[in-house]
Amino acid sequence: MTRIICTTLLVEKSPQALPLGAACVASAIKHYPGTQKECQVKLISFSREDKEILPLKTDEQKANYIADCLLKEEPQIVCMSVFVWNRTIFELCASKLHKHNIIIIAGGPEITAHPDIFENSFDYTVTGEGETKVPRLIEKIILSGGKKLAKDEILSCYTNASTTDLSLLHSPYLDGTIDPTEFGGALWELARGCPFKCSYCYESKGEKTVRLFPEERIDKELELFAQKKIPQVFVLDPTYNANKERAMALLKKIARVTPNTFYYFEARAEFIDHQMAMAFTKIPCALQIGLQSADENVLRKVNRPFNKKQFVKNIGILNQEGVTFGLDLIYGLPGESFTSFREGINFAASLYPNNLEIFCLSVLPGTDLFDRAAELGLSFEETPPYNIIKTDKFSPQDKIKAQSLAQACTYFYNDGRAVPWFLTICHSLKTKPADFFHSFYDWAQKNKLDLCCCEHKTIEENQIKFIAFLFKQKHQERYTQAATDIIRFNGAISRRTATGKSEKIRLIYPPEYIDSQYALDLDFFVRNVKPHPSTITI
């Protein structure tokens, strides 16, 4: 029996960071006729947040730790899933494993992007989907008695294997390779490929076709999630709602089979209509929508068609129907200036997203953007995570300012769960969201706040202090108490929803008015609502 380990180092410990790629390859090796009987396959995953790995300072120490864990299993072959965040660690780890004559096969996005540069680090590199190529390669390695295969032998394993027939794959959930309960949730792969070609995405150079996993497999996985009472599922289908009929049918099934599971979808705003929005309200779920920039010219440069009017209209439908959604923005896109990036924040925040995720552009090898970087005037880091350094319109100083806005937004808006009242406060202060985040960042620096802390009670106290400071600065202290009550009330409700625990809060204004349309306009509120202190239980 050949002992094989499929492994990866995950970016964090969360249901979203489940080792699905490594599990799919492990599952394929288990079922491939040429390896099925010859191999014993084990999936072992690590996370950068593991208590043993987190305190380790250098990549070398982390690599040594992972190698020691793998060596205990006495494998003959190790298959590594390589990403931007684990590339260096796995290269170091492989060199340690080589001393024990272990054969290393590496695949994943980093290898796919530039297989040639890894030839000295790993014995075999596999680009693209690994479920067909890796089992064939292992079969050949076993037949050769572990001798290094010649180039043509390797290539023969890869012939006709670049796009796997999804109907032939076995589900790693259904065959027990991976247990989603261990991770507190599941990544649910419904499709591969994308009809769009955004330049910064790995899909930019892929085929435009979307391949769907068979309905039968999807149904069985859904049943499994129900049986195992999986609390949350992240749907892997970059344009889930592009095919309305299919999306609606699956939402119905989800509502019937797993009514208590929370689902996260990636969606395209242009395909949203009332019927689809209503279908999303029938299950506990949140949509994440890529806006990336509010500037149509910038988006054109990265091959993302964008119709601002339609975007506003369709997001309005989500708000009307009460669908929870978040928006994504990217700074450093070609043609984006710091001013237009700030406009993007103002535009996005005006649409009431539940969360606003702001990322730095990564110019990933293997993407169309990487190929066109020079022509577009982009300079970026040569090593992972390939973040942008500057562009023709975005200086390194702009990047630092954008980073601080992103940090302020994450702390104050996302982790601070500020969506119910954020625009009301901005309106009263006559300030725009980006200016607000800028002032908050400066204030946080002066007051030495730890913006990495995400304990909601602490954030809430800081939100209240900052808003009191702003109202005082603008001689609008008459709004401070009402704003404080609105923040406390909504904060307590969000904690109650998240934890299920009741909480007592002291309010100065009556809760029935705080929880009403009156609270959307602070000036109207303080002129019309009389203080009436009380302590209430949420």
Q: By CB under 6 A, name the binding residues for ligand SF4.
A: 194, 196-198, 201, 203, 238-239
Measured from the CB atom, is 194 or 486 closer to ligand SF4? Answer: 194
Q: How far is the CB of 335 from ligand SF4 (least distance, A)?
A: 17
Q: How far is the CB of 196 from ligand SF4 (least distance, A)?
A: 4
Give the list of residues 6+ apart from residue 129 with CB closer than 8 angstroms, or none.
Answer: 161, 162, 163, 164, 192
Please report the beta strands in 89-172, taking only residues with DSSP state E, as ranges in sequence order: 103-107, 124-125
CA 188/CA 428 separation, integer angstroms:
43
Partners of residue 44 on adjacent β-strands: 7
Measured from the CB atom, is 127 or 476 closer to ligand SF4? Answer: 127
Q: How far is the CB of 240 from ligand SF4 (least distance, A)?
A: 11
Q: How far is the CB of 234 from ligand SF4 (least distance, A)?
A: 14
Measured from the CB atom, is 240 or 412 closer to ligand SF4? Answer: 240
Q: How far is the CB of 268 from ligand SF4 (least distance, A)?
A: 7
Q: How far is the CB of 290 from ligand SF4 (least distance, A)?
A: 6
Measured from the CB atom, is 328 or 515 closer to ligand SF4? Answer: 328
Find out whether 283 and 251 touch, Cβ atoms under 8 Å. Answer: yes
Measured from the CB atom, is 95 or 303 closer to ligand SF4? Answer: 303
Q: How far is the CB of 113 from ligand SF4 (least distance, A)?
A: 14
Find out whether 26 and 172 touch, Cβ atoms under 8 Å. Answer: yes
Measured from the CB atom, is 359 or 518 closer to ligand SF4? Answer: 359
Measured from the CB atom, is 104 or 242 closer to ligand SF4? Answer: 242
SS3 137: helix
SS3 107: strand
Find out whether 189 and 236 touch, Cβ atoms under 8 Å. Answer: yes
CA 292/CA 198 separation, integer angstroms:
11
- Residue 475's CB: how many other CB atoms inside 10 A? 7
Long-range contacts of 392-400 (CB under 8 A, 24+ apart): 392/334, 392/335, 393/335, 393/336, 393/337, 394/331, 394/332, 394/336, 394/337, 394/338, 394/341, 395/338, 398/331, 398/337, 398/338, 398/341, 399/331, 399/332, 399/360
